[in-house]
Amino acid sequence: MRAVVIDRPAPIERSPLREIEKPLPNPRDFEILVRVVACGVCRTDLHLAEGDLPPKHAGIVPGHEIVGVVERLGAQSRRFRAGDRVGIAWLRETDGTCKYCRSGRENLCPNARFTGWDFDGGYAEYAVVREDFAYALPSRIDDEHAAPLLCAGIIGYRAIKRAEVVPGATVGLYGFGGSAHLALQVLKYWDCRVFVMSRGGIHREFAEELGADWIGDAMQAPPAPLDAAILFAPAGELVPPALRALDRGGIAAVAGIYLSPIPSLDYERDLFYERELRSVTANTRADGEEFLNIAGEIPIKTATVAMRLDEANRALAMLKHDELRGAAVLHVE
């Protein structure tokens, strides 16, 4: 099968991804073989390609926003049938026995393993996943537009939950791209007031189209104190202004798997009055199922840029340089 792999991380401008032929994977017990139709391009893939997030092994196939069709069942697999449409996301497996898994916090499992990092992902013609970690997808959203929901969407939703957003809240989104444009639609569905902090250009125009209530620079004070702030940009220097923008008791959640260093915080100015700073670590399957149900109800409109599998380096370069209006999706078929 055709697959795109990372042999040695390097700046994306040097095209560290290359296309090769790999053997077709075989599903083991309780696994399914999925014929990949489309795979979204995520900033985590960029961090892997450039080495900010070191690949677990050489020749890994990135990609964890996978939409495809069940091709074959492993022994004892019963949840899906051949021909079913499914999604594969970042969280690939957990041990199911640790205190985190037993308390509904499987995203914190110390033995968790991930699609496109520990196991080959979706920049390929086929992928394998445990059937209990695959998702049924909303029928109202087609393959290309469903792909970004499987990470950008789910992680944005997890960040919303970590920030304890309630309907009608005032929320600030710092950075506006593949994940934030999906989170904004959930927030507007919940009648929230949403302020977007973005550097400008196509991202500000896009936020305005989607109904943002105010758009400005991240270093500006928003027009009203925030009940919650969600940081999508992987820029640690945005943490202090996001905290300062919070109302008393407000929560700031950092949605990315990677963040540049955070500058020194001033306790009285940035954290006092019970403001909180929280990280977001992957997601639980319950998060994914909740979000996909909401996405189908709205239904969420995903902005995508269709590209070919052999354009993976170009897609990641465009992501790095903020040249995408929404999310790139690689068409594998």
Token couple for 198: 């973005």
Alpha carbons 229 and 280: distance in angstroms, whole number: 13
Neighbours of 237 (CB within 10 A): 14
Sign of CA dihedral 226, 228, 231, 232: negative
Dihedrals phi, psi of 186, to nearest 5 degrees: -65, -45
Q: How high is the pLDDT of residue 258?
A: 86
Domain boundaries, the chain: 2-151+283-331, 154-279
Contact criterion met (CB below 8 Å) for 31 and 88: no
Average pLDDT over residues 255-260: 89
- Taking only the tens place, the pLDDT of each residue in 73-124 is 999 999 999 999 999 999 999 999 999 999 999 999 999 999 999 999 999 9
Contact (Cβ atoms closer than 8 angstroms) between residue 210 and residue 181:
yes
Q: Which is the CATH superfamily of the domain at 154-279?
A: NAD(P)-binding Rossmann-like Domain (3.40.50.720)
pTM metric for this prediction: 0.92
Between 7 and 214, whose confidence is greater?
214
Q: Buried b / exposed e across 309-333, counting CB within 10 Å, b at 16+?
A: bebbbbbbbbbbebebbbbbbbbbe
User: Mean pLDDT across the chain, nearest whole number?
Assistant: 96
Distance separating alpha carbons of residues 292 and 135, to the nearest angstrom: 9
Structure tokens at 138: 């909303």
Which phi and psi angles does 84 have, rounded to 5°?
A: -70, 145
Closest CA to 230 of 170, 147, 316: 170
pLDDT value, residue 178 = 84
Q: How close are the terminal C-alpha atoms of the chain, in Å?
A: 11
Percentage of the residues of the chain whose pLDDT score is greater than 90: 90
pLDDT per residue as tens digits for the range 270-295 = 999 999 999 999 999 999 999 999 99
Residue 280 confidence (pLDDT): 97
Q: Which of 25, 279, 64 is nearest to 178 (CA)?
A: 64
**Contact call for residues 59 and 5 (beta carbons, < 8 A):** yes
Residue 227 backbone phi and psi in degrees, to 5: -75, -30
What is the longest distance spanned by two Cα atoms in the chain? 59
Give the per-residue pLDDT at 199. Answer: 79
Confidence of residue 175 (pLDDT cuts 50, 70, 90): very high
User: What pLDDT is recorded for position 44?
Assistant: 92
pLDDT in tens, 182-212: 999 999 999 999 999 997 777 888 899 999 9
Task: Classify domain 2-151+283-331 by CATH architecture.
Answer: Alpha-Beta Complex (3.90)
- 180-189 vs 152-162: helix axis angle to the nearest 10? 50
CA angle 332, 122, 19 (to 5 degrees): 65
